[in-house]
């Protein structure tokens, strides 16, 4: 379990993380989502003590990470900064870490097998592809058989097979009862992997919700109605729980009434309809709506697609 309480990080004038509080629980994959520059990596570095918090606290399984007698058994991390000797083999890289942290040699073989690097484990890690490097990073994170795992953008730059592999691995680790915390700037990726979401923007908490809640927000659908008598139709459909907007001539977007209700009322009033179609927001659109004001880097004229920062 990871508990973040009123955590803040300031770099000079810039506030990277701003009074953030949330808890990451065991047994489910928790996605840590936010646009580029939202403060995800900074938060993750503070979890493992690589960055000192300006204020607030963060504990891993009840204690500060550095205060655990065997930290690698508590938490394994894949962070963005790579620290593998280019000339050292994957096997030797893992052996050195295991030897200096009291982890048995057989665990090195186990994690190499687990991440599928057995065929290249004796080759220099400097020649590894991005995907192989990510697998080695994950092997390193899992070396201590930790209760808690954090991974910063693990699918970045991976091919579809690698992405699928990581998704399944994370779900398996969570099903084993571990705490799994994984960052991404892609809602679509998190929708396929996580059961719970912590969303931040400009260092602040925006949402801490089960993924199902996001999905239900996406399901709040509207109905697009096209009619040559849209003004009369709008008057006819108006009501206390009905919202009607119009973005183009002759087209209404109606929420609060079903397709059937709109069709029947129009028919009773003799109003001709050219189109009556359900509209559903995608998860990506819900995420973009939530983070619209928090996107740090945006090209001129890109306001309409703010949040789409992949
Ligand atoms: N060492 C540093 N010195 C100064 N500013 C920093 C430093 N590290 C991060 N920042 C700033 O803090 C903010 C948060 O950065 P961070 O890397 O944590 O965001 P992120 O959500 O992980 O984004 P990304 O997905 O782009 O990595 C950004 O504005 C970044 O420029």
Task: Provide DSSP, 31-45.
Answer: EEE--TTSSHHHHHH
179-203: average pLDDT: 91
Regarding predicted confidence, which is higher, 127 or 281?
A: 127
Residue 30 domain-assigned?
A: yes
274-282: average pLDDT: 84
Q: Is the CB of 39 under 6 A from ligand 1?
A: yes
Q: Whose structure tokens read 């801490």?
A: 208
Q: Is the same domain home to 53 and 146?
A: yes
The CB density around residue 287, as the number of other CB atoms within 10 Å, is 29
Residue 228 domain-assigned?
A: yes
Residues 6+ apart with CB under 8 A from 304: none
CATH number reported for the structural domain that contains residue 195 in this entry? 3.40.50.300
Q: Is the CB of 81 under 6 A from ligand 1?
A: no
- At 82 the pLDDT is 62
Q: How many domains does the chain have?
A: 2
Q: Is the same domain home to 130 and 229?
A: no
Q: Is the same domain home to 127 and 255?
A: no
Residues in the chain: 310
Ligand 1, closest atom to CA 42? 18
CA 53 to centroid of ligand 1, rounded, Å: 14
When mean pLDDT is compared across 26-40, 167-181, 218-232, 242-256, the lowest value belongs to 218-232
Please give the Cα distance from 65 to 53 (Å, whole number): 13
CA 10 to centroid of ligand 1, rounded, Å: 10
Q: Is the same domain home to 181 and 238?
A: no
The answer, yes or no, to whether residue 134 has pLDDT greater than 50, is yes
- Is 144 in contact with 68 (CB distance < 8 Å)? no
Residue 304 domain-assigned?
A: no
Q: Which residue, by CA, sits nearest to atom 5 of ligand 1?
A: 11
The answer, yes or no, to whether residue 59 has pLDDT greater than 50, is yes
Q: Is the CB of 34 under 6 A from ligand 1?
A: yes
For residue 148, list its beta bridge partners. Answer: 75, 179
Burial of residue 97, with CB atoms counted within 10 A of its CB: 0-12 exposed, 13-18 middle, 19 or more buried: middle
Regarding predicted confidence, which is higher, 271 or 206?
A: 271
pLDDT one-digit tens code per residue, 94-108: 999 999 888 999 999
Q: How confident is the model at residue 83 (pLDDT cuts 50, 70, 90)?
A: low
Work out the percent of the chain whose per-residue pLDDT is above 90.
58
Please give the Cα distance from 308 to 145 (Å, whole number): 36
Regarding predicted confidence, which is higher, 279 or 239?
A: 239
Q: Is the same domain home to 168 and 48?
A: yes
Residue 18 domain-assigned?
A: yes
Q: How confident is the model at residue 81 (pLDDT cuts 50, 70, 90)?
A: low
Q: Is the same domain home to 124 and 238?
A: no
Q: Is the CB of 266 under 6 A from ligand 1?
A: no
CATH number reported for the structural domain that contains residue 240 in this entry? 3.30.70
Burial 2-20 (b: 16+ CB within 10 A, else e): bbbeebbbeeeeebbbbeb
Range of the domain at 157: 2-217
- At 102 the pLDDT is 87
DSSP state of 291: H
Q: Is the CB of 9 under 6 A from ligand 1?
A: no
Residue to probe by mutation, ligand 1, list 12, 18, 35, 37, most atoms within 8 Å of CB: 37
Q: Is the CB of 36 under 6 A from ligand 1?
A: yes
The whole-model pTM stands at 0.79
Report which of 50, 35, 52, 119 is spatially closest to residue 80, judged by C-alpha positions.
50
Q: Is the same domain home to 110 and 242?
A: no
Work out the percent of the chain whose per-residue pLDDT is above 70.
91
61-83: average pLDDT: 85
- At 279 the pLDDT is 81
- At 300 the pLDDT is 45
Q: Between β-strands 14-24 and 2-11, what pairing exists: parallel, antiparallel or unpaired? A: antiparallel
- At 41 the pLDDT is 94
Q: Which residue, by CA, sits nearest to atom 30 of ligand 1?
A: 37
Q: Is the same domain home to 192 and 262?
A: no
- At 266 the pLDDT is 96
Residue 303 domain-assigned?
A: no
The answer, yes or no, to whether residue 52 has pLDDT greater than 90, is yes
Q: Is the same domain home to 136 and 266?
A: no
Q: Is the same domain home to 159 and 90?
A: yes
Residue 308 domain-assigned?
A: no
Torsion angle of the four alpha carbons 48, 50, 55, 61, in this order, in degrees rounded to the nearest 10: 10
Q: Is the CB of 16 under 6 A from ligand 1?
A: yes
CA 251 to centroid of ligand 1, rounded, Å: 43
- Is 112 in contact with 118 (CB distance < 8 Å)? yes
35-54: average pLDDT: 93
Regarding predicted confidence, which is higher, 76 or 128?
A: 76
Q: Which residue, by CA, sits nearest to atom 28 of ligand 1?
A: 37
CA 54 to centroid of ligand 1, rounded, Å: 15
- At 305 the pLDDT is 37
Residue 234 domain-assigned?
A: yes
The answer, yes or no, to whether residue 191 has pLDDT greater than 60, is yes
Q: Is the same domain home to 116 and 203?
A: yes
Q: Which residue, by CA, sits nearest to atom 29 of ligand 1?
A: 37
Residue 291 domain-assigned?
A: no
Looking at the chain, which runs of residues are DSSP E strands?
2-11, 14-24, 29-33, 55-60, 75-78, 148-152, 179-184, 196-201, 204-210, 222-226, 243-248, 251-255, 275-279
255-263: average pLDDT: 93
Ligand 1, closest atom to CA 44? 18
Q: Is the CB of 38 under 6 A from ligand 1?
A: yes
Chain mean pLDDT for the chain:
87
CA 87 to centroid of ligand 1, rounded, Å: 30
């Amino acid at each position: 379990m990871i508990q973040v309480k009123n955590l803040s990080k300031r770099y000079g004038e810039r506030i990277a993380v701003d009074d953030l509080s949330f808890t990451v629980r065991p047994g489910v994959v928790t996605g840590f989502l936010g646009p580029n520059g939202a403060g995800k990596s900074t938060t993750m570095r503070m979890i493992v003590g690589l960055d000192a918090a300006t204020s607030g606290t963060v504990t891993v399984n009840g204690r500060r990470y550095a205060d655990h007698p065997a930290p690698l058994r508590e938490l394994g991390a894949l962070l963005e900064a790579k620290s593998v000797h280019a000339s050292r083999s994957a096997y030797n890289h893992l052996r050195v870490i295991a030897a200096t942290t009291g982890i048995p040699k057989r665990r090195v073989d186990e994690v190499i097998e687990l991440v599928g690097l057995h065929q290249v484990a004796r080759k220099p890690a400097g020649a590894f592809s991005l995907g192989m490097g990510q697998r080695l990073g994950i092997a390193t994170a899992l070396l201590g058989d930790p209760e808690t795992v954090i991974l910063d953008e693990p699918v970045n730059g991976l091919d579809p097979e690698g992405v699928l592999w990581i998704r399944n691995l994370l779900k398996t680790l969570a099903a084993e009862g571990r705490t799994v915390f994984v960052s991404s700037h892609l809602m679509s990726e998190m929708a396929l992997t996580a059961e719970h979401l912590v969303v931040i923007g400009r260092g602040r908490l925006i949402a801490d919700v089960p993924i199902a809640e996001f999905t239900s927000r996406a399901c709040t659908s509207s109905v697009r109605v096209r009619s040559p008598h849209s003004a009369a139709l709008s008057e006819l459909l108006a009501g206390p729980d009905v919202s009607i907007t119009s973005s183009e001539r002759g087209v209404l977007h109606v929420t609060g009434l079903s397709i059937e209700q709109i069709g029947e009322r129009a028919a009773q009033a003799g109003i001709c309809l050219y189109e009556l179609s359900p509209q559903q927001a995608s998860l990506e659109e819900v995420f973009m709506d939530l983070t619209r004001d928090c996107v740090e880097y945006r090209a001129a004229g890109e306001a309409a697609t703010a949040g789409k920062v992949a």
